[in-house]
A and B are shown apart, each in its own frame.
Chain A
Amino acid sequence: MKQEKYEFKSSDSLLEFRFFSEGPKGEILKVVRYEETFKEPSVYNLAFGDDLGNGDVSDEVVTDNGDTEKVLATVGQTILDFFKIHPSSWIIVKGRTESRSRLYRIKVAQNLDDIRQQLKLFGHVNEEWRPFEKNVNYDSFLIGLKD
């Protein structure tokens, strides 16, 4: 996780983060929000989208601002910062579409060695959670802090 990242702001709960994507489409406000979706074990959903300018955030926008790597690296940093005060929780990441899930799988696989230094990673396939392996078509991911 040594890629270039954006600077970002967070609420003091470390449950919501905001940063600006910068590129040909201009400055676009991105929002990452963690919301508890399950207790025992504690699981927080990672929601990620664009601010639409009307107070709403949507994950249906395809920004295409030429900075996917930098944006995903920034989201990855928010995961590490979330765990600084929620170390016992899991984060679930579920792509809005199959193509979005595939993008996440590819990026995770590309950075797997770095990720595994700090995090535990599971994927959901065939109705069960399994330790993440490359080249498996997971539909969702669970991320936990490495002990």
Chain B
Amino acid sequence: MEKLTKELIEELAKDGCTVVPASEWVPVRYSPEMQKRIDEIKEWIKTTDLSKLPPRRGPVKS
């Protein structure tokens, strides 16, 4: 992940979002039950037909 630009950080701040540097961010851990459901979603989505969705495009803003 590239570092966010100053402009984007300011834009996020206007949305009420404060960006915290990765070095200060402690990722959360899902409860076992929640992790199980997320794993099930990962498997389930493979069974759905995503081919009819419109293609996504656009530059990555960082």
Question: Could you tell me which A residues sit within 8 Å of B by CB distance?
Answer: 5-14, 16-17, 31, 33, 35, 37-38, 41-43, 45, 47, 49, 51-52, 55-60, 74, 77-78, 80-81, 84-90, 92, 94, 96, 120, 122, 124, 127-129, 142, 144-145, 147
Q: Closest approach, in angstroms, between the C-beta of A5 and any C-beta of chain B?
A: 6
Chain B, interface SS category? loop
Pairwise interchain contact A87-B60, C-beta atoms closer than 8 A? yes
Pairwise interchain contact A59-B37, C-beta atoms closer than 8 A? yes
> Given A14, A41, A60, A86, which contacts B53 in the complex, CB threshold below 8 Å?
A41
Q: Closest approach, in angstroms, between the C-beta of A83 and any C-beta of chain B?
A: 9
> Given A8, A35, A142, which contacts B16 in the complex, CB threshold below 8 Å?
A8
Q: A12-B25, A59-B37 are in contact. Are A80 and B58 (CB under 8 A)?
A: no
Pairwise interchain contact B42-A38, C-beta atoms closer than 8 A? yes
List 29 A-B pairs, Cβ < 8 Å: A8-B17, A10-B18, A11-B27, A37-B38, A37-B41, A38-B46, A42-B56, A45-B41, A49-B30, A52-B31, A55-B29, A57-B29, A57-B30, A81-B12, A84-B8, A85-B1, A85-B8, A88-B56, A88-B57, A88-B60, A89-B56, A92-B45, A94-B44, A96-B37, A127-B49, A128-B49, A129-B48, A129-B50, A145-B56
Chain B residues contacting A120 (CB-CB under 8 Å) are: 54
Chain B residues contacting A51 (CB-CB under 8 Å) are: 28
> Please, how many residues of chain B have a CB less than 8 angstroms from a CB on the other chain?
43
Binary contact readout B19-55 vs A (1 if CB under 8 angstroms, 0 otherwise): 1111001011111011001100110111011101111
